[in-house]
A and B are shown apart, each in its own frame.
Chain A
Amino acid sequence: MNDVKTQKRVSKTGSSDGFEEVLVDVKNLKMYFPVTEGVFIPKVVAHVKAVDDVSFQIFRGETLGVVGESGCGKTTTGRCILQLEKPTAGEIIYNGSDITQFNSKQMIDVRKKIQVIFQDPYSSLNPRMKVGDILSEPMKVHNIIPSEADRQTRVRYLLNVCGLASAFADRYPHEMSGGQRQRVGIARALAMEPELIICDEAVSALDVSIQAQVINLLEDLRDEFDLTYLFISHDLSVVRHICHRVAVMYLGHVVELADGDELFENPMHPYTQLLLNAVPIPDPEIEKSRAHEIIKGEIPSPINPPPGCVFHPRCPSAIDVCKSEFPPLRELKPGHWVACSQV
């Protein structure tokens, strides 16, 4: 419906070249999960509209943040790009071709280039495999490095790159701390020399001091290996720190999309404004002077989303038109897209 056009921006990490090359182009992505009733002859009675007509682009070299609360569809969007879910509708253009149309054979090459880091470092590693085997298995399966000895060299290299000693290759996941395990998860994603890594709440389960170490590692790796991240998170402070551009999702829709600083300093959508307001800032003096405007109510069910703008039941500035028409994403400033008719 609304293609977000290619936009230039200046890298915040120091280099001044903008990101221009589109790596992934998500067009009108829809992911509806059927809700069934009946045991023997299941009947589809409704759909959970987890992702409902989402379009955005990921530029090579950038970190695009996707933020939102539980159930807003951010993880499902990531899983669709990974082709772990078959989207109901829409296109995901990667390297010029629509990967939603690929068969499993064609996907093999794509899977090498798009990797994922999961939230929970406890459950995303096989407890019965040594770290070395966890890291070398994908290289063996994809036959990237045929020789066992070369693979072991690369395993050690990957561990070192991620800040772990080579000796960790002989350990099991339960012998490591949460932060170390997450580093293994990152090393595993790097093993395939990917172009795009989907970080799904990659630092959310870690303690503050360890979280900072892993954030720094992700940033170093991005610069060293020219990686692109789709950074899915509910933690707005982390997103502000690491992302170049940020998309805010609510109930399956992208409601606002802008450069990081622009979004955090000049949020336009009422939901984004209230969301940012809800995040406490670690400074008592600032907190005393902030107006604590609390968002009312809870997220409605994605099975039966409200008509019109999905945010209207909780929106302080909703008017009649919001109840009947969903506002499309409009570019109100260069690179700043908002889906609200009242802005």
Chain B
Amino acid sequence: MALLEIDNLQTQFFTSAGIVKAVDGVSYTVEQGETVAVVGESGSGKSVTAMSIMRLIPWPPGKIVGGSVNFDGKDLLALTDDEMRSIRGRDIGMIFQEPMTSLNPVLTIGLQLTEPMIAHLQMSEKDAMAKATKLLDLVGISEPERRLSQYPHHLSGGMRQRVVIAMALACDPKLIIADEPTTALDVTIQAQILELMKNLTRDLGVAMIIITHNLGVVARYADRVNVMYAGRIIESGTATEIYHKPRHPYTLALLKSIPRMDRQRTEKLDPVDGQPPDLTKLDQGCSFRPRCRFSTDACSKSFPVLEEVGPGHTSACFEKENLAKEIKEVVG
């Protein structure tokens, strides 16, 4: 059985401008020890999905209105708050984007790092400190004993993110959710952190959901990819399938709109026209239709469901066959 099974998750925000369907029927699974990427642009619902798994959606205005999240045999959405609290930071670790804001500035690194171990694993302070030292060493921080008594502002951005990773690993979780873990970091530090996360998850057998907008990061580190647009997953498959045989117009457009460092500049970028949709004004049709080159009448009548186009590769598009033909023609 999969470690995490999200089925038809729906999260909505009730705002004065209307109901924002931030997550609109998202389903995916994460197997033991695998790295799954969720990619999409701002507002596509990738972070809200992660927050919904952790049940961290603030009410009001947000609410999980449907679906189920099965983690390790438990339905997380059916747990009481206390039960949920015993899972957060224990079985599921979380790494946020901003290491500046996810650490408490007035508490020492040691206190923040030992807190989850003392709370969840009932460790003594002394044992927790010993383990904290080991953890800091594991994530590549020099002089770990000295760091334990320092405050977050003593550390650089990359160091802080290493501390956050150490915190996520503190209670030997089964799953780590990393929400844009390296977006705020420089590219060489990003490479250091991602390499570290990859090695740690592999060595410790931890599964990871990595949420990012960076298609390069996905290509380097993910086994499977879910592409999100306007609150739905519109394509899903292995990284190689998604990058070499995209079967959704949005995925194709995304890949064509990014400049690539390994290619000589030959022609202009081919951006997706228009803007992402207003999530309060979605209709029953496909939300990508106004920006799509392939759209037909059928696209305005109902939202296409995710259908298999190859082994483990699904796409939510009525025109996926036409798209496949065109890609073949372009490639030759």
- Residues in A lying within 8 Å of B, measured CB to CB: 12, 69-70, 177, 179, 207-213, 215-216, 219, 234, 236-238, 240-242, 260-261, 264, 274-287, 292, 294-295, 298-299
Contact = CB atoms under 8 A, between A and B. Distances in A.
A283 B189 CA distance: 21
A279 B192 contact: no
A280 B272 contact: no
Contacts of A298: 156, 158-159, 189
5 contacts: A211-B257, A234-B187, A280-B191, A284-B243, A292-B220
A291 B260 CA distance: 18
Nearest to A214: B271
A210 B273 CA distance: 8
A231 to B, nearest CB: 12
Contacts of A212: 257-259, 269-272
A278 B271 contact: no
Nearest to B268: A216
A216 B271 contact: yes
Contacts of A287: 219-220
B259 A237 contact: yes
Nearest to A241: B259
Given A179-B275, A215-B269, A207 B187 contact: no
B41 interface: yes
Contacts of A234: 186-187
Interface in B176-209: 186-192, 194-195
Given A208-B258, A264-B261, A294 B271 contact: no
Contacts of B195: 292, 294
In the complex, the 10 A-B pairs of residues with the closest C-beta atoms, listed nearest first? A280-B216, A212-B271, A241-B259, A212-B257, A278-B191, A282-B215, A69-B186, A280-B220, A209-B272, A207-B41
A163 B254 CA distance: 20
A67 B220 CA distance: 22
Given A264-B261, A275-B187, A281 B219 contact: yes
Given A212-B258, A278-B190, 19 more contacts: A69-B188, A70-B186, A177-B275, A208-B254, A209-B254, A211-B257, A211-B271, A237-B216, A238-B259, A264-B262, A276-B261, A281-B220, A282-B255, A284-B220, A284-B240, A285-B244, A292-B191, A292-B195, A295-B191
Given A69-B186, A207-B41, A261 B219 contact: no
B126 interface: no
Contacts of B63: none
B265 interface: yes
A213 B261 CA distance: 18
A311 to B, nearest CB: 12
B42 interface: yes
A275 B187 CA distance: 7
A55 B219 CA distance: 37
Contacts of A260: 265
Nearest to B216: A280
Interface residues of B, number: 47
Contacts of A241: 259-260, 265, 269
Interface in B245-269: 253-255, 257-265, 268-269
B259 A284 contact: no
B279 to A, nearest CB: 13
Nearest to A281: B262
B258 A236 contact: no
B218 interface: yes
Contact of B213 (A208, A264, A286): A208
Interface of B: 41-42, 156, 158-159, 186-192, 194-195, 213-221, 239-240, 243-244, 253-255, 257-265, 268-273, 275-276
A284 B258 CA distance: 15
Contacts of A283: 219, 243-244, 262
A281 B216 contact: yes
A106 to B, nearest CB: 38
**Interface hub of A12, A242, A274, A294 (most chain B Cβ within 10 A):** A294
Contacts of A210: 41, 271, 275
Nearest to A12: B265
A69 B187 contact: yes
Contacts of A278: 187-188, 190-191
A294 B41 CA distance: 28
Nearest to A179: B275
A260 B216 CA distance: 20
Contact of B42 (A70, A207, A240, A281): A207
Nearest to A265: B264
Contacts of A280: 191, 194, 214, 216-217, 219-221
Nearest to B44: A207
Contacts of A281: 216, 219-220, 260-262
A96 B288 CA distance: 53
Given A179-B275, A212-B269, A215-B269, A285 B259 contact: no
Contacts of B159: 298
A285 B238 CA distance: 12
Contacts of A208: 41, 213, 215, 254, 257-258
A280 B258 CA distance: 12
Given A207-B41, A284-B239, A285-B240, A274 B188 contact: yes
**Interface hub of B243, B253, B269 (most chain A Cβ within 10 A):** B269
B186 A209 contact: no
B188 A240 contact: no
Contacts of A286: 219, 262
Contacts of A282: 215-216, 218-219, 243, 255, 258, 260
A164 B258 CA distance: 22
Contacts of B192: 294-295
A311 B190 CA distance: 19
A207 B213 contact: yes
B82 to A, nearest CB: 39
A274 to B, nearest CB: 7
B220 A275 contact: no
B187 A237 contact: no
B259 A215 contact: yes
